[in-house]
Amino acid sequence: MNIVITVSRQLGSRGSYIAAATARELGLRYLDREVLNRAAERAGFPDEKMMALLEEQEYKRSLFERILEALVTLPSVPMIPSATLREGYAYNDVISTLMLNEDISYEEALQEVREDQQRMVRATGYADLIQQVVLDCARAGDAIIVGRGGQMILQNMPGVLHVQIIAPEKMRVQRLMRRTGVDEKEAQKQVQRSDKGRMYYLRHFHDVDWRNPDHYDLVLNTNKMSVDAAQALICKAARQLAR
């Protein structure tokens, strides 16, 4: 029986624990950070620096996404009617908007624009590496792939079970406080940062809203569900799909 499962989870939803329990029960390889390890090795840089760069791409909002947020307050009709002229002003408009909304100097804004352009080139390369590693792992079979956009990378591969694990934000904040010892304000900050990071990563590289239940075969809310109960449901669904 060949089983492949992707798991998308919110921070504090107990998704990683559930995925690990499922892997043990079904005898699957648990692939989370290992996906990054393999991508780094394939790039020829199996070290902590490459790992850090790969992980950064999952939570780093691009400059242009921040600019888009700022532009919602600007007129919807272009002040410059000519498309050619607008293109000529676009670069400076980005810098000016960044200076205004982040309260930084022209030099700092210019440097950030340049760094962001370089980062996006790197990020695209890293995303391609991760996609290939995820595909390789799925083709090898008997694996549970946690995060890394696996639900989108493998969306057209037959026989793959796509699972999303969620919980209310308040519950996730409480769990994070108990697990890490941070106060409520810091826990809430980490939860919201994680949610935004996942949203931007999937939006940028796969052009989807990761919260959309249409991308999943099974959505589990762990507000009132134990790890064992969630694991049992996933195992049942996976076994039925693999028949």
The CATH number of 4-60+117-242 is which of 3.30.450.40, 3.30.1020.10, 3.10.620.30, 3.40.50.300?
Answer: 3.40.50.300
Tell me the C-alpha distance between 90 and 227, whole Å: 51
Local confidence pLDDT in tens for the 243 residues of the chain:
688 999 999 999 999 899 999 999 998 888 886 665 666 565 555 445 554 554 555 444 444 444 444 433 333 333 333 334 334 444 455 556 666 666 777 777 777 666 655 544 444 566 677 787 788 888 888 889 988 788 999 998 998 999 999 999 999 999 999 988 899 999 999 899 888 888 887 887 788 888 888 999 999 999 989 999 999 999 999 998 877
pLDDT value at residue 211: 84
pLDDT value at residue 95: 58
Q: Which residues contact 42 (CB under 8 A, 6 or more apart)?
A: 129, 132, 133
Contact between residue 119 and residue 54 where contact means Cβ atoms under 8 Å apart: no
Tokens of 156: 């057209």
Count of beta carbons in the 10 Å neighbourhood of residue 172: 25
